[in-house]
Each structure stands twice: as C-alpha cells, then as structure tokens.
Structure 1
C-alpha cells in the first residue's frame, strides 16, 4: 500500500518468499511480472497481469511531485563529491594539506616580500641619514644619491691619511668584511663580501672625492653584488 517493492531474479524467488514468511507472517505481496511464468509458483499469492504503463502509473501515483526522479537535475554536495572521488581518510587529509599550502603560499610570499622591502627601505634611509642628517624621505634612491654626491664640494681637496676609513665607518655597511692598514707600504686594504651596487657606488664616489689612489682593484661583479678587495694608497706625513 505504500508503493514500495522489491525486484529479484527468478532463480532467487523461492529464497525471497521464505525470507518474507519468516519476517512477516501475514504479509501478502503482489507480484508484477513481465514474462510468462507457471502459475504454480504464485498459486499461494495474489497475482495479476498488468502492462508496463500501468506499473509506471502506479509508481507515479505513490510519489510526491517534488520526489519524482529527474535525470536532468542534480545537486552538488561535499559528501557526494567525496564519494565520487573515492578518497579514503589518509588521501583526504593529504589533499586538504596540499590545498592549504597552495592557498597559504602566496600570502606568506607577499608577507616576506613586504618585510624585505621594509628592511631595504630602512637600511637605505639609514645610509642617507649618515651622509646627510637632514635627510627625511626616499622617493628615488638612485636619483637622490646622485644629488647627494653632487652636493659634495669636489673642488675641496681632502688629505687622505686615514680619513677615508673614517668616512667608511660612518656608513653602516656590514658587507665590509675587513680593513687592514699597511703602514710600511702606506696602503689600506679593504675586503668586501657581496656588497650591493648602490653601496659600492657610494664607496667608489667617496674614494674619488677624497683624491685617493686605487693601487689594485680585485672587485668582481656577480649578479649585481660586488665581492673582492681594494688596495688604496695613503699619503705619509
């Protein structure tokens, strides 16, 4: 009466009947078949011959309008998607971890780049302030550095002795690995380790402005960074 039914192969018919009798003693099923079968098999049950159209109508009459099956309507759900992908618990956890990494990687990369940018700007501003205490803001570091160096009076000759080392100490350059003074030969040896092009330009300009003679230049440019040694001549008093 509720429209429910059961479909089985003919070979399993008797097993099905025995199972139904054990579970429901008063159960009187209605059998609907599409092929001719000996009535002996159904003599203890209510049987009737009906058309396939009648079966369809009987099925539809017991279905609500919204419950009718549709081959053209589907609803995407997380549970259904996971079932179709046939993922076990380990694969699901691994997939979620990979997706999380892919989502977090760009965010972390942006945060790191912002941190590097801030550190670079702070270090650059520190260099400018060491050269000019009145300096306030960086807009174009290269152009402003050129203007700052041009502001130095190039016509004023400065005795070298050891003043060049004082100039270099005033600049916060960690890439100066070492500095040695050879008093016997009146030389200053500077060792650099991966110094940036901008910082190297500052040092080169200071050396030229101080009328210092470069005896030996062993600086090598590798991917925009400079490493090696400079040998400068100092004047003896």
Structure 2
C-alpha cells in the first residue's frame, strides 16, 4: 500500500512537522529535523511538502501569447525588480500559465531542501503553504503553527507571525481594499477585524485541509520541487539492498565515466600516432617539422629522393683477373660494383700459389687496398681487398 506523507516545513527551514497517512487515515505525526525525514518516510511513497509562504515571493502576472520564455522572464524581472532583494541569478523562477502565477524561490534556501528530498526515492511535490487554505477558500486566512497564512483570489499568498501582523495588515489593506477572508482556526482577531470586514470564522482540522488539497492539487497547482538524479534515491526507489545499491551505483558511474575515459584514451592514442608518424618522417627527412597530410607529404619526399642515378661505366676487362684465379682456392668473394671493390677470402693456400696471385695482381690495373693474409705452417689464409680502375 502506497503511503502519503505531508510535511509542513517550519519558518526556520531546518525543522518540520510530518503527517503520515494511509488510505486517507492519519496514522501519526512527528516533529523532526529535515535530515531525519529519510528515517520515517518509506521509499516509493507520495510526499507533499508545504513551504512557509513568507520564504517565497508570489506574483500575479499574465504571459502574452507572442512571448517566448526568455522575453517573458525578462519582462517579469524588469517589472518587479524593486521587490527582489537578491540578484536574479540567485533565484528559481517558477511560472504557472493556468494560474497566471509566478513564484520566486531563493536557490540558497531551496537547494539543500531539494537535495534532501531527492534522497527519499519518492514521488515529491513542493508547494507554498498558502495553497493549502487556497484550495479550501480562495480568499482565506489560516492559522497554523502560530503562522497567519493568507491566500488571495489572484492565486498569490503570504504568511507572517503574530508579531509581524501589526506591520503587515496596514500594507495588505492598501493593496487589497476589498479583501474579505474566511478565517480558519482563528478566533476573532482584533487586528484583522480592524482592517477587514470578516464575517466567517471556521474551525477545521488540518487533516481535512490536507484531504481537500490532495483532491484538488492535480488540477493546476504549481509544483516547486526541483528533481535531480540521486544514486541513493534511485536505489531506494528500486528497493535495492546495500550491496545491490553499491553495485548499481558502480555500474551507473561506469556508464557515465566510460565515454569520457574512452575519449581520453583515443586522444592519447592519437597523440602517440601523430608523434610516431612525425618521427618516421623526420628519419626520412630531418627538415620535417609537422605532419598534416601524411600521404601527400610522403609522396613529395619520395619524389624528391627518387632522382635518376648516374650510371657508372665499368671496364669489365679488369675483372679478367678473377679468371686467372683457381676458384677452389677462394672460400668467399664479395664484389661492390658501386665502389668497384672486390674482397677475396683464401683458406690455407700454399706460399707458391699466393706468390703467383700477387704477381698477377701487380700486373693488372688494380689497387691493393688491404692485405690481411697470414702465413702459418707454409700455408697462407686471410683476405685481400682490391679496387679496380674505372676506364670509361
């Protein structure tokens, strides 16, 4: 069974009176601090909160058909700037077109209350307190918890303490000369009788006012509650255990963080890719400062490096020396046609053969660059490096 809780916030905005209903019957009342609400309110309940009217400012105003929200708000604040103490940005602007009613609520006051309410995991509605007697009688004055709560036919309202009544009533009588309220739970207050012709006095239980308001609130009354997602409220609404709540919270946080983490990783990979690409280009061409279009820049580098090579004419007659050598005596040979150099490796050839090869080399058009031959036990091993002449 879904419970209904009604909360009357006190004038100090930190304490409240809680009424618990089930199937329209009052079960209990409690005086408590706002932070204690979560201990008594069960999740998935309906919660209606009444805010002291003197903590809010209500204005009767009509929105023109051709006005958008921005122009309408600009006109409103321009027309009522003398009534607003704090800066415009420090207030919430709430408007009901059906009621032609604007209500200004200070953010510093409302944000802590909204944050607490969002933790409950309930269906929340927040109204100015004068809506309670307005639903019973449009022009009325209700006394509740030593507050005089006034509602008017233009859907605005106000409240004050008995001490402030002597200052408020003269102002009210000038502004609303024909105001004739129905006084609820109020003895014939001399001050009110002095300024207004009050003929109707009624004594009505607060529970009846609650019931009547709940029956009418869906019609048009302006809800001031500011919903904000809360992990605690979400887990309570799903009736999760502590472990399930923690796991759900981690999952939600992960889903929220993953896109940003993925984007950050992609940025890191992109930076590394660009750096690696730049290093490759700089290895090819040290003059490269940055890479903008890799394909175009690589084509340009290759085009500049692929110049026609000047062909070297080699006199092949010089290589006839190789025919004079016994290939069995050569263990390895290397020919570099660019430098016209030949390296011959011999392994354990006789001194006689080596002396013959030396004579052949001396007779050919070659230059001996290195002689790394070593004699051991009448055998010669090692390598010789020669350069052939280039006779064009």
Task: Answer whether TM exceeds 0.5 for this pair.
Answer: no
Higher helix share: 1
Higher strand share: 2
When Rg is computed on C-alpha atoms for both structures, the one with the higher figure is 2
TM-score, normalised via structure 1 length: 0.37
